């Protein structure tokens, strides 16, 4: 996948990045005060006209009673779902202002025993255990029924013996809290998702302008479990145990925040567009950030467009394509302060990564070039151009390991072209490293860095290329054939 685009000067890119980052970096951390998605063409401002589903009415029953292609107008207020909705072809679900689909039930009767408060659970629990937990978390992330105190998720412990403030444990039908619930709202997620699309064959569904929250969807499954022809627009999707939304063809204008595993997931998608969303603070549930968690992840996807999103503060990679994805475009995203790589293209093929601002990512990743602002792993035919990359654990990195072959040939770093980026590194490195005893990755596979502009700190080496220790000075980097027409400016004096 290739494409021509205007070349931006370093000064213009820096100014544009500074303005955009300033617009979101001052936002409060409160869930209710997150930024709205970047502006896009107006599409959903008209009054909802259709079948009104009022408070206390069953949305699932309304769908069952009406023909395919019905517009359902969800009335303001909190609609507590006890099970998921299976739409019909062409159905639209549009929230009136203040409409909430909530998968939880409140808990009110607690008994105190020392520093523990217990309640009997008379609700069905999701029996499906799924996902891979981060080290030190045991298997707690695999249990889907989260508990919320004043709409904040509590941390699940494996036993009531290990409770602390803001944590809970479930043993059989007994819930134990480490916090006094008096004067607080305590809820437990019960419904296993809001909408079910998988294995239904239902097409052309629209979900718009709803708050969708507190569902007990297991790891790998989304609260909005969509299909390829679905559209998910202008919603706030939050506080769900697993994924927020998956597999829809158009995911646009949403705030997808504070989900337990992953904000957006896609598998086997073709032509999906992910645009103008805020994807933030996902993976509160303690899932392994190296496996399936963070902001957004797509596997075996093609013709994917991910553009104009704000991706911030996720525990894991910000944006991640993996496992045979091909013809991917990441463009004009703001990717900030994610614990893993900012933009990560792994064992995949053709892609363009351009015009993104990638800042402060990867601080929990160690080794090699992991934690780079933009990272390729065993992926070829990728163009990385006109990005502003600053303050990440590493700059722009290409890693080659023996990952075998996939749907479109071997997983190899070749024809990777990194050019016209602005890269600021006060620490870390940019370049290419490999675990394979094959120098061709540095000599004859057409991997190259060109015309980038670097701002560097006080360290001696900032680059990796072909040497056993992967540590090169600026002069050695250029002598190896990289960035012959590039520029470098030292910030060492400015940093003391």
pLDDT tens, 181-235? Answer: 999 999 999 999 999 999 999 999 999 999 999 999 999 999 999 999 999 999 9
Question: What's the CA gap between 461 and 475, in Å, rounded?
Answer: 10
- All residues at 6 or more sequence positions from 308 whose CB lies less than 8 Å from its CB, including other chains: 38, 40, 275, 276, 331, 332, 333
Percent of the chain with pLDDT over 70: 90
Per-residue pLDDT, averaged over 134-143, amounts to 92
Question: What's the CA gap between 91 and 143, in Å, rounded?
Answer: 32
Question: What's the CA gap between 318 and 28, in Å, rounded?
Answer: 20
- pLDDT of res. 467: 66
Token representation of residue 325: 């994805």
Q: Which residues pair with 195 in a beta bridge?
A: 85, 224
Our CA angle for 135, 139, 142, nearest 5°, is 120
Percent of the chain with pLDDT over 90: 84
Q: Of 11-25, 31-45, 322-336, where does the model show the most confidence? A: 322-336
**For residue 27, with 0-12 CB atoms within 10 Å meaning exposed, 13-18 middle and 19 or more buried, which class applies?**
middle
Name which of 159-163, 234-238, 268-272, 394-398 the model is least confident about. Answer: 159-163
- All residues at 6 or more sequence positions from 407 whose CB lies less than 8 Å from its CB, including other chains: 300, 324, 326
Domains (range + CATH), the chain: 10-42+191-495 (2.160.20.10), 51-102 (no CATH), 104-189 (2.60.40.1180)
More confident residue, 33 or 421: 421
Q: Give yes or no for residue 266 having a pLDDT over 50.
A: yes
The secondary structure element, H or E, covering residue 205 is none
Question: What's the CA gap between 428 and 103, in Å, rounded?
Answer: 44
Question: What's the CA gap between 235 and 335, in Å, rounded?
Answer: 20
- Pairing verdict, β 116-120 and 174-177: antiparallel
Token representation of residue 340: 């893993």
Q: Give yes or no for residue 43 having a pLDDT over 50.
A: no
- pLDDT of res. 14: 40
Looking up tokens 């993996």 gives 322
Question: What's the CA gap between 218 and 386, in Å, rounded?
Answer: 39
The pLDDT tens digits of the residues spanning 286-338 come to: 999 999 999 999 999 999 999 999 999 999 999 999 999 999 999 999 999 99
DSSP string computed for 147-173: EEETTEEPEE-SSGGG--TTEEEEETT
Question: What's the CA gap between 47 and 92, in Å, rounded?
Answer: 13
Residues of the chain by 3-state class (helix, strand, coil), percent to 5: 10, 35, 55
- All residues at 6 or more sequence positions from 3 whose CB lies less than 8 Å from its CB, including other chains: 329, 352, 354
- pLDDT of res. 437: 87
Question: What's the CA gap between 106 and 434, in Å, rounded?
Answer: 53
Question: What 3-state class would DSSP assign to 24?
Answer: helix
Question: What is the CB neighbour count within 10 angstroms for residue 25?
Answer: 14
Token representation of residue 339: 């614990």
Per-residue pLDDT, averaged over 261-279, amounts to 97
- All residues at 6 or more sequence positions from 289 whose CB lies less than 8 Å from its CB, including other chains: 134, 283, 315, 316, 317, 339, 340, 364
pTM of the model: 0.90
Q: Which DSSP state fits 89? A: T
The pLDDT tens digits of the residues spanning 76-109 come to: 999 999 999 999 999 999 999 999 999 999 999 9
Question: What's the CA gap between 259 and 314, in Å, rounded?
Answer: 10
Q: Say if residues 217 and 244 touch (Cβ distance below 8 Å).
A: no
Q: Give yes or no for residue 417 having a pLDDT over 60.
A: yes
Q: Say if residues 263 and 285 touch (Cβ distance below 8 Å).
A: no
Question: What is the CB neighbour count within 10 angstroms for residue 336?
Answer: 24
Our CA angle for 216, 191, 267, nearest 5°, is 60
At residue 29 the predicted structure's pLDDT band, cuts being 50, 70 and 90, is very low
Closest among 388, 381, 394 to 448, alpha carbons compared: 381
Closest among 271, 259, 276, 274 to 220, alpha carbons compared: 259
Per-residue pLDDT, averaged over 152-178, amounts to 94
Supply the mean pLDDT for the chain.
90
């Amino acid at each position: 996948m290739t494409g021509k685009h205007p070349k931006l000067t370093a000064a213009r890119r820096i100014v544009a990045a500074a303005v955009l980052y300033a617009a979101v970096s001052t936002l409060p951390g409160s869930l209710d005060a997150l930024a709205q998605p970047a502006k896009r063409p107006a599409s959903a401002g008209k009054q909802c006209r259709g079948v009104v589903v009022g408070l206390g009415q069953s949305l699932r029953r309304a769908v069952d009673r009406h023909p395919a292609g019905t517009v359902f107008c969800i009335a303001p207020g909190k609609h507590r779902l006890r099970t998921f909705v299976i739409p019909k072809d062409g159905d639209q679900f549009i929230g009136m202002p203040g409409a909430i689909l909530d998968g939880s039930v409140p808990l009110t009767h607690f008994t105190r025993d020392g520093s523990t408060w217990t309640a009997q659970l008379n609700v069905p629990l999701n029996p499906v255990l799924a996902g891979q937990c981060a080290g030190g978390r045991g298997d707690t992330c695999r249990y889907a029924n989260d508990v919320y105190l004043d709409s904040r998720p509590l941390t699940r412990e494996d036993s009531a013996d290990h409770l602390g403030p803001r944590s809970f444990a479930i043993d059989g039908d007994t819930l134990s809290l480490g916090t006094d619930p008096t004067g607080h709202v305590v809820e437990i997620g019960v419904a296993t998702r809001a909408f079910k699309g998988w294995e239904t064959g239902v097409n052309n569904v629209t979900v718009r302008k709803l708050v969708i929250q507190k569902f007990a969807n297991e790891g790998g499954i989304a609260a909005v479990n969509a299909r390829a022809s679905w559209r998910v627009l202008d919603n706030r999707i939050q506080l769900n145990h697993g994924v927020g939304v998956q597999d829809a063809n158009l995911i646009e204008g949403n705030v997808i925040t504070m989900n337990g595993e992953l904000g957006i997931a896609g598998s086997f998608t073709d032509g999906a567009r992910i645009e103008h969303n805020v994807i933030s603070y996902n993976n509160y549930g303690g899932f392994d950030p190296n496996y399936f968690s963070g902001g957004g992840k797509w596997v075996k996807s093609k013709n994917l467009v991910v553009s104009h999103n704000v991706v911030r503060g996720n525990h894991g990679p910000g944006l991640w394509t993996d496992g045979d994805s091909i013809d991917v475009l990441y463009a004009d995203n703001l990717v900030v302060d994610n614990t893993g790589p900012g933009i990560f293209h792994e064992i995949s093929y053709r892609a363009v990564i351009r015009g993104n601002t990638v800042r402060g990512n990867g601080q929990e990743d160690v080794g090699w070039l992991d934690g780079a602002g933009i990272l390729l792993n065993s992926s070829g035919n990728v163009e990385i151009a006109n990005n502003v990359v600053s303050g990440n654990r590493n700059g722009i990195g290409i890693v080659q390991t023996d990952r075998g072959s996939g749907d479109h040939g071997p997983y190899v770093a070749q024809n990777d072209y990194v050019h016209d980026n602005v890269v600021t590194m006060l620490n870390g490195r940019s370049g290419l490293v490999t675990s394979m005893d094959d120098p061709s990755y540095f000599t004859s596979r057409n991997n190259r860095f060109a015309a980038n502009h670097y701002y560097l700190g006080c360290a001696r080496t900032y680059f990796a290329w072909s040497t056993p220790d992967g540590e090169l000075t600026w002069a050695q980097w250029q002598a190896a054939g990289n960035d012959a027409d590039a520029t470098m400016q030292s910030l060492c004096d400015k940093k003391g």
